């Protein structure tokens, strides 16, 4: 993901324009994409006018790869890496590279293991009724992902805050949500929003804020090669978006 500036602040909540190619939590606009020109379901709201609260609970149905799929696809992935090595002018039969295609294929499956996990699997037993309505923040969550444009790492920190609405989430599950969505081919902007929407769909809090600070190796190792550049993205939903005081409190606390 090429960036022309060393420091970028992107507020994703302003980009929810409902165009046909936007992706939310692994689904096009969080809904089943209708065929072009097809009839709209009775009572369905068109994408440009659909609020976040009306998004289908896609977090419950998003696994796209299984462990069995991993086993079946491993030979073809390894063969693809063998082809890459030859294309780079290397000899896949030399001693140091004999097992590299299999190692690389296994590593890539691990880097993208979020495709074989579902949010509901980790949240169902960790949502608790609690009469608490003050801000909850978990900050400095380590994050590793893969740039979908260049297949090189993105790494950094995620800060999450939410205002409970009579229900709270086990704190470690916030980190698990980050892990599930980050272990996929990603762009940082989409990752930020997916985390925020998943928490909103699962808890129905009065507000959610997510900020990600990350380094993109596609900017460091290639392209502009800016070693100290960082990209900052944010998604604010509910009170975090509508109430400046709530938003300012969250931003102040994650920097403290």
- For residue 255, pLDDT beyond 60: yes
Assess contact for 137 and 169: CB atoms under 8 A. no
Selected catalytic residue, list 27, 116, 150, 249: 150
Selected catalytic residue, list 62, 109, 159, 218: 218
Helices 171-182, 188-203: inter-axial angle, 10-degree rounding: 140
Confidence grade of residue 61 (pLDDT, cut at 50, 70, 90): low
- For residue 59, pLDDT beyond 80: no
Tell me, yes or no, if 49 is annotated catalytic: no
Confidence grade of residue 101 (pLDDT, cut at 50, 70, 90): very high
Selected catalytic residue, list 45, 71, 93, 149: 149
Tell me, yes or no, if 150 is annotated catalytic: yes
Tell me, yes or no, if 130 is annotated catalytic: no
Selected catalytic residue, list 61, 71, 130, 148: 148
What average pLDDT does the structure give for the chain?
82
Selected catalytic residue, list 62, 117, 147, 159: 147
Confidence grade of residue 127 (pLDDT, cut at 50, 70, 90): very high
- For residue 24, pLDDT beyond 60: no
pLDDT tens per residue across span 129-169: 999 999 999 999 999 999 999 999 999 999 999 999 999 99
Tell me, yes or no, if 249 is annotated catalytic: no
pLDDT of residue 114: 94
Average pLDDT over residues 201-225: 94
Selected catalytic residue, list 188, 189, 194, 201: 188
Q: Which helix (H) or strand (E) holds 244?
A: helix 244-255
Selected catalytic residue, list 62, 109, 159, 216: 216
With helix as H, strand as E and coil as C, how does the chain read? CCCCCCEEEEEHHHHCCCCCCCEECCEECCCCCCCCCCCCCCCCCCHHHCCHHHCCCHHHCCCCCCHHHHHHHHHHHHHHHHHHHHHCCCCCCCHHHCCHHHHHHHHHHHHCHHHHCCHHHHHCCCEEECCCCCCEEEEEEEEEEEECCCCCEEEEEEEEEEECCCEEECHHHHHHHHHHHHCCEECHHHHHHHHHHHHHHHHCCCEEEEEEEEEEHHHHCCCCCCCCCEEEEEEEEEHHHHCHHHHHHHHHHHHC
Tell me, yes or no, if 148 is annotated catalytic: yes
Tell me, yes or no, if 147 is annotated catalytic: yes
Q: How many helical (H) and strand (E) elements, i.e. helices and strands, does the chain have?
A: 8, 10
Helices 100-111, 67-87: inter-axial angle, 10-degree rounding: 130
């Amino acid at each position: 993901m090429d960036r022309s500036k060393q420091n970028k602040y992107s507020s994703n909540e302003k980009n929810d324009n409902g165009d046909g190619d936007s992706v939310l939590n692994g689904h096009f606009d969080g809904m089943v994409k209708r065929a072009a020109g097809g009839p709209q379901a009775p009572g369905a709201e068109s994408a440009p006018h659909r609020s976040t609260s009306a998004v289908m609970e896609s977090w419950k149905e998003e696994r796209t790869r299984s462990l069995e799929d991993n086993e079946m696809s491993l030979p073809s992935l390894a063969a693809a890496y063998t082809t890459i090595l030859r294309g780079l002018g290397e000899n896949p039969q030399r001693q140091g590279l004999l097992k590299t295609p299999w190692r690389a294929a296994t590593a890539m499956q691990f880097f993208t293991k979020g495709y074989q996990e579902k949010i509901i699997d980790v949240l169902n037993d960790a949502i608790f009724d609690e009469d608490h309505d003050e801000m909850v923040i978990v900050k400095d969550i380590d994050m590793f992902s893969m740039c979908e444009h260049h297949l090189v790492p993105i790494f950094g920190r995620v800060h999450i805050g939410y205002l409970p609405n009579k229900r709270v989430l086990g704190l470690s599950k916030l980190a698990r949500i980050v892990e599930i969505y980050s272990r996929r081919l990603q762009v940082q902007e989409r990752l930020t929003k997916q985390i925020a929407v998943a928490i909103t769909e699962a808890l129905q809090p009065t507000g959610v804020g997510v900020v990600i600070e990350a380094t993109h190796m596609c900017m460091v190792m290639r392209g502009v090669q800016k070693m100290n550049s960082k990209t900052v993205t944010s998604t604010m939903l509910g009170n975090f978006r509508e109430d400046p005081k709530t938003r300012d409190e969250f931003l102040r606390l994650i920097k403290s």
